[in-house]
Amino acid sequence: MKLNQWLDHRSADDWFRSAAAAGRDTLLPLSCAVSAGRTLGARSTAGWIGTPGTLIVGSLAGFGLLTTVVVAVAAGGSRAAGLQSWMLAALAICAIGLFGATILLWRAERAAAARQAAESATAAEAGAMRDIGKLEEALNVIPIGFALYDRHERLVAFNEPYNRMIRHIGGIDRTMVGLTYEQVLTHYEGQMKAAFPDRDLSAWKAEYLKRFHARTSIDLQWENGRVVRLAQIQIPSGGVVLMRMDVSDLKQREQEALAAQKRFDVLVNSLSDAVFSTDRDGRFSYVSGAMLPLLGYRPDELLGRRPHDITHPDDHAGLEACIERLRQNRGVSIAFAHRGLCKDGTIRQVDVRMMATERADSLGGEFAVTGVVRDVQRQHELAERLRYELQRLDSVVQSSGAAIVLVDRDMRIIMANNGFINAWPGRSAEDVIGKPLRALIENVGDQRVFDAWFAAGPSDPVERLEYENARTDRQGRRRIYHVTANPVRDTAGLVQHIVFLAVDATERREAEIQLFDTSRLATVGEMASGVAHEINQPLTIIRFAAESLLEQLQDTSPDVPLASVSGLVDAKLSRIVSQTERAALIIQELKGFARQPDAAPRPFDVPATLSAAAQLLREQLRLSGIEEELDLAPGCPPVLGHDSRLQQVIINLILNSRDAILERGAPGGEALRSGTIRIGARHLASTGKVVITVEDDGPGIPDAVLPRLFEPFFTTKPTGKGTGLGLSVGYQIVRQMGGTITAENRAEGGARFIMTLDAAPTDMDLPPPDAA
């Protein structure tokens, strides 16, 4: 029992009796009494310092000391009775007063302590109320409504958001604190019936009670149209926290996300490529529906499996290498073509494009891969077929016997076959590829033509170029190559490459030369009668002049001085000389025509060549009653080729026109021996072409004959009058010169042959005239 409680059960008489007993037993010295009082006070105050017990113990100790002194004095008997009585009365009064003061002081200290405790309690309550207010403010601004029920299911507290959420059915107030959850539902049930009279609420209360006791959570759409998430959370004290959160916006976003996901799935599943993603463990976490037609797997059959399960075992090493590259190069797309394993065990070629997301874009920086799988089986089959066809084509190209080379826009070789490489002994494909074509071949054609090809637009016409080139083979023999240059357009229609195909035409050229020579000699033979007649004229004149001079000299007397007849002799001899020169000129022109031309083409004068050809036939045409006209435009540039060959073509055309005119019959059957043959030449500066025409006013060419006019051995002349090679040979000669020849009928009657030749380059000079 505490000291103040113990004092309440003790009386003053007990104290006096204890003190008297102590005095009777022994008379303590004052110092001992004081010491005992101090000791008692010290012992009493040891555990009560700072409490009302301190004052009480001190007062009792002093009172005991005074009582001891009084008893000691009274027992001594050395004082007078009066003094003794006075002292006892005074001591009694002091003791009573001291004891009363002690009691009053103790009571006062208790009252002060009670007041201090009350003030502390009031201050603590005020602080607690302030803290509760702050907590209440904080809870009211949280967008989640909650209500607290104790373990007896009685409502303890709620916040304002909770009240707002159910305001459409009357809300909740503090008067409902202390009601059980069932009583609260009963209250709401009445409000619900009043607000929604047409609604069946028979199971409403039971459902809410069931969820409350089961502590389950659910999302409900309330009567105000808002979607609220209801949750019951058990707390350690046995109570329950009901939480209400408005998730309408969240549900809306979920619906939008779901709709977006459906649109994404529709979009992804509409692709022919299969879309996939893998998780940090390298297993499929998403697979689109395109995987079913691709490899035969439904998406759910592949989720959780590794890509290795649908990859051919021989390609696993390549797959691992790709995965390692993805780890080292995040954010970089990597392609991997391999054999995919179908569900039925078959193999299908697929191409995978995949990429590992950056660390900053991944959850926790995990290694995740996304990609697409494309079916390339058809492309693979086409590629294999193309590879097979290319092998076949390469075998054809390599064994064709022709030299084939492909160059780029810089005229550098990018492909060459064995026929081209073998032309340079000791060189391999590596020595040729990448080299400029002109570094190996000096004459590769007109570079201006190639530049025009490369500058041509998609709709600009480009024509192949044909020319001949000569080089010496390993045995030192001169070989002739017929070269064809073909421009190669890309998908945009622009010329990006040129293919050169060179065929050894040495034997063919020799045969053609023999054919040309034979045809030329045949033409000479056909011209023989006319030439002989033309030569016969100056010979006849020479004979007549010589005979006349001889007769006149014989008739002159021997005595007549020779000087007197010198004039006659000079006149006759001059005539003989002129006719000799005439015959020599005819023979010279005939020799020039019959002479075999040089192998190498060279520039020559077109008007001079045409004039020489016309001169050879002028006498024959005159004898046939045919007029010859020349229309040679001045300033006509030279062309590249052989002048004798062009003369051969022109003479053949003139003779054909002569025959056609002579075969034209009169109505009475008499042949008409009159006609005109026109030979013309002009320069088309816009195209750089020289145009040569030979036309007549004969009967023309039958329409059925025109398409076959230049075929070998085709002729409309009677048997024995033609070989059918003249026009065919002329066609080949013009083609060798890089030109064209066509035939047509004139509107006014007769036939016209048109030859078009390229003008020779301006940097090529004409050779000096032949002195022979």
- In the chain, domain spans: 3-117, 142-251, 271-382, 400-504, 511-758
Percent of the chain with pLDDT over 90: 21
Q: Which residue has the higher pLDDT, 390 or 133?
A: 390
CB 690 within 8 A of CB 603: no
> pLDDT band at residue 694, thresholds of 50, 70 and 90?
very high
Can you tell me which residue has the tokens 């003779």?
655
Instruction: Write down the pLDDT at residue 16.
Output: 39
Band (560; pLDDT cuts 50, 70, 90): low
Instruction: Supply the pLDDT for residue 528.
Output: 60
Q: For residue 197, name the pLDDT band (cuts at 50, 70, 90).
A: confident
Same fold, 271-382 and 511-758: no
Rounded CA separation 536/542 (Å): 10
Tokens at 344, concatenated: 């039925």
| pLDDT class of 534 with cuts at 50, 70, 90 | low
| Residue 751 pLDDT exceeds 50 | yes
C-alpha dihedral, 308 to 313 to 318 to 320, nearest 10°: 40
DSSP string, 708-741: GTTSTT---SPTTS--S-HHHHHHHHHHHTT-EE
For the chain, give the number of residues.
772
User: Mind listing the pLDDT tens digit for each residue in 95-154?
Assistant: 676 777 778 787 788 888 888 888 888 887 777 767 766 767 777 777 788 899 999 999
Structure tokens at 505: 């035409």
Question: Quick one: pLDDT at residue 48?
Answer: 39
Query: Is the pLDDT score of 8 beyond 60?
Result: no
Residue 450 has pLDDT above 80, yes or no: yes
Query: Please, how many CA atoms are within 13 Å of residue 746, restricted to the half-sphere of its CB?
Result: 17
Condensed to tens digits (0 to 9), the pLDDT of residues 562-616 reads: 666 667 677 777 777 776 776 666 666 666 655 656 667 889 999 998 998 888 7
Q: Which CATH architecture has domain 400-504?
A: 2-Layer Sandwich (3.30)
* pLDDT (average), residues 524-548: 66
Task: Please give the pLDDT value at position 19.
Answer: 40
For residue 771, pLDDT beyond 70: no
Question: Which whole number is the average pLDDT over 205-220?
Answer: 87
Q: What is the pLDDT of residue 523?
A: 64
Residue 543 has pLDDT above 80, yes or no: no
Note the pLDDT tens digit of each residue in 482-519: 889 999 999 899 999 999 998 887 777 667 666 666 66
User: 95: which 2 tokens?
Assistant: 């003791």
Average pLDDT over residues 558-562: 67
Mapped onto helix, strand or coil, the DSSP state of residue 153 is coil
Measure the CA–CA gap between 427 and 419, rounded to whole angstroms: 12
What confidence tier does 162 reach under pLDDT thresholds 50, 70, 90? confident
DSSP 508: H
pLDDT in tens, 696-706: 998 888 888 88
CATH topology of domain 511-758: Heat Shock Protein 90 (3.30.565)
Q: What CATH number matches the domain at 271-382, 3.60.15.10, 3.30.450.20, 3.40.50.300, 3.30.70.580? A: 3.30.450.20
Q: What pLDDT is attached to residue 164?
A: 84
78-82, 368-372, 572-576, 743-747: least confident range: 78-82
Region 142-251: CATH code: 3.30.450.20
Structure tokens at 655: 């003779």
pLDDT digits (tens, 9 = 90+) for 25-82: 333 333 333 333 444 344 444 333 444 454 444 554 454 554 544 444 444 544 455 5
Residue 690 pLDDT: 94
Whether the pLDDT of residue 4 is over 50: the answer is no
Q: How far apart are CA 146 and CA 232, in angstroms?
A: 10
Count the alpha carbons within 13 Å of 602 in the hemisphere toward its beta carbon: 10
User: What's the Rg (C-alpha) of the chain?
Assistant: 68
What is residue 678's predicted lDDT score, i.e. its pLDDT? 94
Average pLDDT across the chain, whole number: 78
Percent of the chain exceeding pLDDT 70 equals 73
- Quick check: 182 pLDDT over 50? yes
Question: What would the mean pLDDT of 406-420 be, rounded to a whole number?
Answer: 90
Mean pLDDT to the nearest integer, 725-742: 84
pLDDT digits (tens, 9 = 90+) for 337-362: 999 999 999 999 999 999 988 766 55
DSSP letters, 209-265, are HHHHHHT--EEEE-TTS-EEEEEEEE-TTS-EEEEEEE-HHHHHHHHHHHHHHHHHH
pLDDT of residue 354: 92
User: pTM (2 decimals)?
Assistant: 0.40
**425: pLDDT confidence band, cut at 50, 70 and 90?**
confident
